[in-house]
């Protein structure tokens, strides 16, 4: 489903940076005034000279003013709200990505590392798609549905950026769980073209994975594997708060070297009558998968989306002007109704 809200000019959100700047300026002016007042007279004399002056009222005026400015800035962004929901018929295929997020995917034998390279590949493939539906599964010691099947490609790319080894509760390579989970993604029995794309370095994959891949193939799912990493391999970096503190070691204290195992991924693809693709060069798998999807027979499916969006800026302009007008007519001195309710507890201070 398409989004209920849309932002037309998000760049104007940067103008909200003036809010903290104005607060700082106000505090500096307040401090300067207090300093000058102390040079002129003491606090008791000031209360006699200006008995109705309220410092809290001045701060309240600033808050009202800043709220008004904030509403006006949001009006420049021009938020839009969907006003009509309609059913749209689309043609496409279902593509599920199974992304390996085990610790070995952090190896930097390809830049920037195996996991980031895999995410780049998936993101670029998604960008090449038309009205096709995509889903993302992540797996290590367990498998998790990162994103259910959807036509919202922007959401897919957004969720993809959050994929990392810390999301999964245990380490390992539970590819079998990922394959089982993938079956639940294809919720359209009439969809004749369904794809599962596994992206991994091939380490620690179980032998029975081939049989599960074959079962998927028999159910009409086309399985492709993409391998990332080098056969020479590399160490697995350990980071703390973003800084590298060393490399993963085994029980003997030796640095663990993780290597890509293309033969494992090739075996999975062959068992499912699919294809293994070298993923070390991003453009290579993107081009191959794009060609496969383009030539695939598209099935028609229905989806609901918002067709019309109406501008909402006028509401924010109105609210902004209302607060600014209120600020103009509100003086810095105490008013009778504020004195009665003692909004700022100033009576206690006197």
Q: Are residues 132 and 235 in the same domain?
A: yes
Q: Are residues 117 and 233 in the same domain?
A: yes
- Looking at residue 229, its pLDDT comes to 94
**Positions in the chain short of pLDDT 70:** 1-5, 37-56, 82-90, 172-173, 187-192, 204-207, 299-308, 331-350
Q: Are residues 324 and 253 in the same domain?
A: no
Q: Are residues 316 and 178 in the same domain?
A: no
Q: Considering its fold, how many domains does the chain have in total?
A: 2
For 34-67, how does the pLDDT look when each residue is reduced to its tens digit (9 = 90+)? 777 666 666 665 565 555 556 667 788 889 999 9
- 335 located within any domain: yes
Q: Give me the numbers of helices (H) and strands (E) for the chain, helices first please.
A: 12, 13
- 141 located within any domain: yes
Q: Are residues 236 and 129 in the same domain?
A: yes
- 83 located within any domain: no
How many whole angstroms separate alpha carbon 126 and alpha carbon 284? 15
How many whole angstroms separate alpha carbon 142 and alpha carbon 2? 31
- 159 located within any domain: yes
**CATH number, domain with residue 246:** 3.40.50.410
How many whole angstroms separate alpha carbon 265 and alpha carbon 197? 11
Classify residue 284 by burial, with Cβ atoms within 10 Å: 0-12, 13-18, 19+: middle
Beta-carbon contacts of 122 under 8 Å, excluding residues fewer than 6 positions away, are 97, 99, 136, 160, 197, 199
What mean pLDDT is reported for the chain?
82
- 84 located within any domain: no
How many whole angstroms separate alpha carbon 30 and alpha carbon 35? 9
Domain that holds residue 9: 5-78+312-349
Q: Are residues 163 and 192 in the same domain?
A: yes
Q: Are residues 259 and 112 in the same domain?
A: yes
């Amino acid at each position: 489903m398409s989004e209920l809200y849309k932002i037309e000019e998000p760049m104007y959100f940067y103008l909200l940076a003036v809010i903290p700047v104005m607060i700082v300026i106000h505090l500096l002016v307040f401090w300067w005034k207090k300093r000058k007042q102390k040079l002129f007279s003491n606090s008791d004399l000031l209360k006699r000279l200006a008995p109705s002056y309220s410092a809290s009222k001045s701060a309240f005026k600033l808050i009202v003013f800043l709220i008004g400015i904030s509403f006006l800035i949001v009006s420049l962004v021009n938020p839009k709200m969907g006003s009509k929901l309609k059913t749209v018929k689309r043609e496409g295929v279902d593509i599920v990505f199974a992304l390996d997020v085990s610790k070995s995917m952090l190896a930097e034998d390809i830049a920037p590392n195996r996991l980031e390279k895999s995410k780049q590949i998936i993101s670029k493939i998604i960008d090449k798609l038309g009205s096709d539906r995509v889903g993302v599964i992540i797996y290590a010691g367990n498998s998790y549905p990162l994103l259910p099947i959807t036509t919202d490609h922007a959401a897919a790319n957004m969720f993809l950026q959050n994929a990392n080894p810390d999301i999964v509760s245990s380490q390992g390579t539970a590819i079998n769980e990922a394959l089982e989970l993938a079956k639940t993604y294809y919720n359209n029995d009439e969809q004749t073209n369904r794809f599962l794309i596994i992206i991994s370095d091939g380490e620690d994959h179980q032998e029975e994975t081939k049989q599960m891949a074959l079962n998927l193939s028999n159910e009409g799912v086309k399985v492709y594997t993409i391998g990332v990493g080098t056969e020479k391999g590399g160490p697995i970096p350990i980071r703390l708060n973003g800084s590298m503190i060393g490399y993963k070691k085994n029980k003997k204290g030796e640095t663990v070297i993780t290597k890509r195992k293309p033969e494992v991924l090739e075996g999975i693809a062959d068992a499912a009558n699919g294809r293994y693709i070298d993923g070390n060069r991003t453009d290579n798998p993107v081009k191959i998968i794009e060609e496969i999807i383009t030539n695939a027979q598209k099935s028609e499916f229905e989806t609901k989306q918002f067709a019309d969006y109406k501008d909402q800026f006028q509401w924010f302009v109105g609210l902004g002007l209302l607060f600014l007008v209120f600020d103009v007519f509100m003086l810095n001195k105490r008013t009778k109704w504020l004195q009665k309710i003692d909004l700022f507890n100033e009576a206690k201070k006197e």
